């Protein structure tokens, strides 16, 4: 497949070498061709064609009036609201819900002349690392359909790898963009917490959720982040200071001091193929990397799951089948039984487990023992990483412990699936930007990935770093 950056697409449009409608038709053809991968929950085919015709007409009449994302055909994860379109977060609970408004991110894409081609499949309420918990069935890996796509933004990653859109908007709570990006061999960027509005995102863990971008090209990611980031009156958790426009800069990578964390890169669960590819990447790029001991490693996953499940139990309490959400048709004697039946039928097993865990750690007698301690551990982790960035420019880590698992493999041992998040949750606990970079796996056709992490607010710097890598600016 031939993958083009947004700038190349816009150049082709300017030279009359293609039209926006032709681009849309190419992507729709690829979606139909790879339908068995189950990347999309819904494809907005006729709507995308109609909008493409409108934008082609606008471009012909006044090319200077085009928005910054003209020519960009983008998929959105099925947890982002889009006015007068269904959104379900991959759950039976919201299977027939139509959003009355658009998420800030979605509206900004449309205002910038992008085209939304469809909503991508994901783990139910973004709870999972495989995209197997979706009400609509599992997403299958773009490279080998017998393997998982990763999660929770599995459909987003597959839609990029199979050239079904130029870019995909996903969400990342503990690695939900970066991990499937690794499993499918694409770039996946989680920005600094608070620079992209979460208004219109169906929340999982509100203090951890971040909306980000997947694509093949780092300049395309930068262009899209520039459009969707910035102040929003509807999101009180946004950073108060203005968000600068990102600019990709050229520099010598060998001048940067880069840290890696000893306990993670030498962890017993890290597959040798990942470690070998990780070491080879550092060597080939000539990076100046130092190992630093991270004594809080063993607390990463427990702290993350306590906090995200606690927040999820609160966020998902609104789905009761009364105002919206699945409503049980069973005859009941009282109001409480109606809600119980609706939630029992509407939520899948993984979501139920996390709601129960969240309620447990917030309950009287356990709040101090679990939730409060997890908050304290998070503070310690953030302080350690902030101090590390006083001495180092970036952190480099593997993205996952291994290549993509076989379908059904991780659901047999959910603890192993949770532990595999140890490399990605760090960025969410600290609110810092992180990006997956695809690596070649010499032992298999399945891709691998590494992460670059940077100090909070250094989104432009991290993308510039990737753009200067010899093999990573295009995945």
Q: What percent of the chain has pLDDT over 70?
A: 99
Any idea which residues carry the catalytic annotation? 77, 152, 176
**Phi and psi (nearest 5°) for 389?**
-75, -10
- Residues 390-441 have pLDDT tens digits of 999 999 999 999 999 999 987 778 888 899 999 999 999 999 999 999 998 7
User: Is residue 168 packed enough to be buried (19+ CB in 10 Å), middle (13-18) or exposed (0-12)?
Assistant: buried
Calculate the alpha carbon distances from 392 to 128, 195, 262, 282, 426 in Å: 32, 23, 15, 16, 16
Q: Band of the pLDDT at 454, cuts 50, 70, 90?
A: very high
Whole-angstrom Cα distance, residue 306 to residue 309?
5
Residue 383, pLDDT > 80, answer yes
- Residues 189-246 have pLDDT tens digits of 999 999 999 999 999 999 999 999 999 999 999 999 999 999 999 999 999 888 999 9
Name 365's Cβ contacts closer than 8 Å, sequence gap at least 6.
Answer: none
Task: Give residue 474's pLDDT.
Answer: 53
Average pLDDT of span 437-461: 94
Whole-angstrom Cα distance, residue 365 to residue 351?
23
Whole-angstrom Cα distance, residue 106 to residue 424?
25
Residue of 116, 106, 102 lying closest to 48 (CA atoms): 116
- Residues 115-138 have pLDDT tens digits of 999 999 999 999 999 999 999 999
- Residues 31-50 have pLDDT tens digits of 999 999 999 999 999 999 99
Task: Give residue 413's pLDDT.
Answer: 80
The β-bridge relationship of strands 167-172 and 187-190 is unpaired
Sheet with 40-43: list strands edge to edge.
40-43, 115-120, 73-77, 167-172, 210-215, 187-190, 434-439, 448-454, 394-398, 258-261, 289-292
Task: Give residue 15's pLDDT.
Answer: 97
Task: Give residue 331's pLDDT.
Answer: 87
Task: Give residue 49's pLDDT.
Answer: 99
The β-bridge relationship of strands 289-292 and 210-215 is unpaired
Residue 301, pLDDT > 70, answer yes
Task: Give residue 333's pLDDT.
Answer: 85
Q: Which domains does the chain have, with CATH numbers?
A: 6-252+413-468 (3.90.1300.10), 299-372 (no CATH)
Whole-angstrom Cα distance, residue 468 to residue 252?
8
Task: Give residue 204's pLDDT.
Answer: 98
User: What's the whole-number average pLDDT of the chain?
Assistant: 96
The two tokens of residue 446 are 């399945």
Task: Give residue 63's pLDDT.
Answer: 96
Can you say whether the dihedral through the CA atoms of 353, 357, 359, 365 is positive or negative?
positive
CB 110 within 8 A of CB 41: no
Nearest-5° Cα angle at 459, 6 to 142? 50
Whole-angstrom Cα distance, residue 272 to residue 420?
15
CB 277 within 8 A of CB 442: yes
pTM score above 0.85: yes
Whole-angstrom Cα distance, residue 225 to residue 191?
8
Name 452's Cβ contacts closer than 8 Å, sequence gap at least 6.
Answer: 394, 395, 396, 434, 435, 437, 462, 465, 466
- Residues 137-191 have pLDDT tens digits of 999 999 999 999 999 999 999 999 999 999 999 999 999 999 999 999 999 999 9
Task: Give residue 472's pLDDT.
Answer: 55
Residue of 125, 104, 106 lying closest to 115 (CA atoms): 106
Task: Give residue 328's pLDDT.
Answer: 93
């Amino acid at each position: 497949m031939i993958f083009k950056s947004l700038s190349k697409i816009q150049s082709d449009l300017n030279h009359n070498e293609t039209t926006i409608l032709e681009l849309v038709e190419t992507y729709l053809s690829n979606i139909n061709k790879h339908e068995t991968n189950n990347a999309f929950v819904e494809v907005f085919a006729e709507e995308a064609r109609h909008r493409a015709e409108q934008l082609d007409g606008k471009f012909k009449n006044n090319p200077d009036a085009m928005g910054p994302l003209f020519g960009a055909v983008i998929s959105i994860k099925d947890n982002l609201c889009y006015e007068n379109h269904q959104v379900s977060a991959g759950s039976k609970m919201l299977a027939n819900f139509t959003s009355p408004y658009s998420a800030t991110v979605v509206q900004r894409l449309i205002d910038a002349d992008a085209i939304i081609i469809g909503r991508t499949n994901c783990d139910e309420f973004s709870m999972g690392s495989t995209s197997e918990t979706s009400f609509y069935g599992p997403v299958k890996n773009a490279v080998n359909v017998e393997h998982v796509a990763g999660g929770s933004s599995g459909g987003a990653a597959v839609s990029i790898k199979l050239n079904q859109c130029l870019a995909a908007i996903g969400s990342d709570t503990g690695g939900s963009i970066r991990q499937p990006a690794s499993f499918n061999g694409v770039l996946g960027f989680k920005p600094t917490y608070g620079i992209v509005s979460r208004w219109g995102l169906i929340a999982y863990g509100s203090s951890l959720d971040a909306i980000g971008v997947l694509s093949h090209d780092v300049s395309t990611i930068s262009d899209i982040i520039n459009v969707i980031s910035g102040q929003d009156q509807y999101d009180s958790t946004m950073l108060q200071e203005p968000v600068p426009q990102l600019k990709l800069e050229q520099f010598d990578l060998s001048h940067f001091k880069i840290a890696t964390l000893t306990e993670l890169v030498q962890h017993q669960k890290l597959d040798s193929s990942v470690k070998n590819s990780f070491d080879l990447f550092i060597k080939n790029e000539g990076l100046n990397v130092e190992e630093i001991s991270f004594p809080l490693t063993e607390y990463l996953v427990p702290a993350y799951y306590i906090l995200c499940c606690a927040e999820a139990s609160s966020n998902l309490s609104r789905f009761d089948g009364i105002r919206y959400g699945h409503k049980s048709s069973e005859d009941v004697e009282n109001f409480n039984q109606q809600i119980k039946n609706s939630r029992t039928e509407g939520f899948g097993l993984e979501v139920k487990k996390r709601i129960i865990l969240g309620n447990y750690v917030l309950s009287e007698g356990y709040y101090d023992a679990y939730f409060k301690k997890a908050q304290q551990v998070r503070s310690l982790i953030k302080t350690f990483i902030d101090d590390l960035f006083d001495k180092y420019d970036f952190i480099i880590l593997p993205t996952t412990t291994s290549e993509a698992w076989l379908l059904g493999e991780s659901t047999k041992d959910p603890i192993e699936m949770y532990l595999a998040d140890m490399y990605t949750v760090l960025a969410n606990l600290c609110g810092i930007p992180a990006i997956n970079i695809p690596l070649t796996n010499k032992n298999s056709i399945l891709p691998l990935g590494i992460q670059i992490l940077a100090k909070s607010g250094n989104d432009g710097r991290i993308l510039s770093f990737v753009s200067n890598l010899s093999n990573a600016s295009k995945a």
